[in-house]
C-alpha cells in the first residue's frame, strides 16, 4: 500500500516571534510508514502510516530509518544530531554529536544539545516527556532539551537555556522557549518523591508556585497530578525567561496526533527539531 509523504500538515511548529533563521518543528505520529502498534490512529483503529522515529521502540528498524529519512527531507537537511537519551541533565554540542555519528554511528548519551552553527540540527525524541526548544530572537544559537520529570528537576531546561544564551552572546532573559507536546496536567500521575524533587531547593513565591503545580489525585491517596508545562515555565522564569509559548498539547489525550508511552506502553516516538537556517536573513542584520 502506498502511503502519503510526510508534509508540514503532519507536524507542529512553534508560534513564536523569532528570526526566520530559526527553524523548528515537532513531529506527530502521522506521515510515516510504520505498522501498528506504531501506526497512525484513525477512526478508533491503529493503522499503517505511523511516523515512529525511535530506533529502540521495538519497531522495524527499516521503517524507522525510512521515517527519519522522510523527516530530514521535509526539513531540508541531510542529518540530525540524534541522541541516546538517558533521562538525565547532560548537554552536548550538536556538532560533536554529528562528528561521533559519522565516525562510529554511535549516538552520544545526553538529553539536550545546543549549537550556533547554521545547518546543524538539534533533536530530541519524546513520547510523554516534554521537548523544550530554545533560541535567541536573532537566531544566533539554538537548543533542544528532553525534559522528563527527572531531567527537569535536575535543571536541564535552565542549563540548556544558559548554554544557548552563552553561544548567542545575550542575557538568558532575552531568550525564547517553546514547550512542545507532553503529558498533560490531567494525566500525569506521580508520587510524593516527584513532588519532593521539585520542592527541594525552592523558596518564596517559587515554592508556592511549585506546590501549586501538584494537585492531590482525586482517587489515589498519596498521589498527585503534576503540571509538567507549569514546572518548566517556573524553571525558565527563574532565569528571567518570560517569552514562553506552547505547553498546551497533551500527548495522552490527543491520541490521533501523538504517541504516548504512559497511555499505550508499546508505542513510537516523536521528535522535536531546531536548527539555524543559513539561507534565511537574521532580523538583527
Per residue in 45-71, pLDDT (tens digit) is 999 999 999 999 999 999 999 999 999
pLDDT score for 203: 84
Is the pLDDT confidence value at 220 over 50? yes
Mean pLDDT of 72-98: 97
Nearest residue to 141 via CA among 81, 91, 74, 94: 94
Is the pLDDT confidence value at 11 over 70? yes
Burial class (CB in 10 A: 0-12, 13-18, 19+), 52: buried
Q: How confident is the model at residue 246 (pLDDT cuts 50, 70, 90)?
A: very high
CB count in 10 Å sphere of residue 204: 7
Q: How far apart are the first and last CA of the chain?
A: 48
Is the pLDDT confidence value at 282 over 50? no
Is the pLDDT confidence value at 1 over 80? no
Is the pLDDT confidence value at 12 over 90? yes
In the chain, what are the domains? 8-183+242-276 (3.60.140.10)
Computed over every residue of the chain, the mean pLDDT equals 95
Q: How confident is the model at residue 201 (pLDDT cuts 50, 70, 90)?
A: confident
Say how far apart CA 181 and CA 18 lie, in whole Å.
20
Mean pLDDT of 5-28: 97
Q: How confident is the model at residue 281 (pLDDT cuts 50, 70, 90)?
A: low
pLDDT score for 279: 80
pLDDT score for 158: 97
Q: How confident is the model at residue 283 (pLDDT cuts 50, 70, 90)?
A: very low
Contact call for residues 104 and 247 (beta carbons, < 8 A): no
Say how far apart CA 87 and CA 90 lie, in whole Å.
9
Amino acid at each position: 500500500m502506498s502511503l502519503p509523504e510526510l508534509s508540514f500538515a503532519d507536524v507542529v511548529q512553534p508560534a513564536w516571534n523569532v528570526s526566520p533563521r530559526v527553524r523548528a518543528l515537532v513531529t506527530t505520529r502521522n506521515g510515516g510508514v510504520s505498522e501498528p502498534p506504531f501506526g497512525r490512529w484513525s477512526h478508533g483503529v491503529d493503522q499503517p502510516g505511523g511516523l515512529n522515529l525511535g530506533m529502540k521502540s521495538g519497531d522495524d528498524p527499516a521503517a524507522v530509518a525510512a521515517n527519519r529519512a522522510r523527516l530530514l527531507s521535509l526539513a531540508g537537511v541531510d542529518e540530525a544530531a540524534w541522541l541516546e537519551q538517558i533521562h538525565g541533565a547532560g548537554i552536548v554540542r550538536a556538532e560533536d554529536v554529528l562528528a561521533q555519528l559519522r565516525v562510529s554511528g554511535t549516538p552520544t548519551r545526553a538529553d539536550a544539545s545546543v549549537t550556533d552553527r547554521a545547518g546543524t540540527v538539534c533533536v530530541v525524541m519524546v513520547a510523554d516527556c516534554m521537548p523544550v526548544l530554545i533560541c535567541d530572537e536573532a537566531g544566533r544559537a539554538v537548543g533542544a532539551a528532553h525534559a522528563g520529570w527527572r531531567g527537569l528537576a535536575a535543571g536541564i531546561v535552565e542549563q540548556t537555556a544558559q548554554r544557548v544564551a552563552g553561544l548567542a552572546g545575550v542575557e538568558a532573559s532575552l531568550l525564547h522557549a517553546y514547550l512542545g507536546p507532553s503529558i498533560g496536567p490531567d494525566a500525569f500521575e506521580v508520587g510524593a518523591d516527584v513532588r519532593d524533587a521539585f520542592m527541594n531547593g525552592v523558596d518564596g513565591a517559587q515554592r508556592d508556585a511549585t506546590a501549586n503545580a501538584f494537585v492531590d489525585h482525586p482517587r489515589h491517596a498519596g498521589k498527585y497530578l503534576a503540571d509538567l508545562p507549569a514546572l518548566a515555565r517556573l524553571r525558565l522564569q527563574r532565569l528571567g525567561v518570560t517569552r514562553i509559548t506552547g505547553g498546551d498539547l497533551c500527548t495522552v489525550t490527543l491520541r490521533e496526533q501523538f504517541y504516548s508511552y504512559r497511555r499505550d506502553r508499546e508505542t513510537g516516538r516523536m521528535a522535536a527539531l531546531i536548527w539555524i537556517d543559513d539561507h534565511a536573513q537574521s532580523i538583527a542584520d
